[in-house]
Amino acid sequence: MTNPYKNKPWFKFLSNKYVWVLLFFATWMIFLDNYSYFDHRFLDKQIDELEDNKKYYQEEIKKDQENIKELKNSEQIEKYAREKYYMKKDSEDIYIIEFEGDTIEKK
């Protein structure tokens, strides 16, 4: 009894031992290996998030450095203290008026 598919091109292709080794290797590398395709995609997403965080924090550092330069002036320190911490001079009174639904955002 002979195999009726023996002379078909797809049977010759699938009966080749190198094809099976290649399929096994590809399956192993894509799904089962420690450095699989899915692990790489996950790590690439983490890298992208960390790079975005890095850009954000670098911008924040620049803003803070500019604020520090501004605060070296004593007038700017006084202005900052009045705006942020509601500090006052001894001879002054401060009244804070807040309205409901006020659109001014506090920083």
Rounded to two decimals, what is the model's pTM? Answer: 0.53
Q: Which of 107, 51, 52 is nearest to 80 (CA)?
A: 107
CA distance 68 to 40: 41
Buried b (16+ CB within 10 A) or exposed e, 23-37: eeeeeeeeeeeeeee
Which amino acid, residue 76?
A: Q
Residue 103: pLDDT above 70? no
* Of 72, 70, 96, the residue nearest 83 (C-alpha): 96
Q: In the structure, what pLDDT confidence band is assigned to residue 104 with cuts at 50, 70 and 90?
A: low
- With a cut of 60, say whether residue 107 has pLDDT above it: no
Q: What is the pLDDT of residues 22-76, one digit of tens each?
A: 999 988 888 888 888 888 899 999 999 999 999 999 999 999 999 999 899 888 8
- Asked whether the beta carbons of 79 and 88 are under 8 A apart, the reply is no
At residue 95, the pLDDT reads 79
The amino acid sitting at 90 is: D
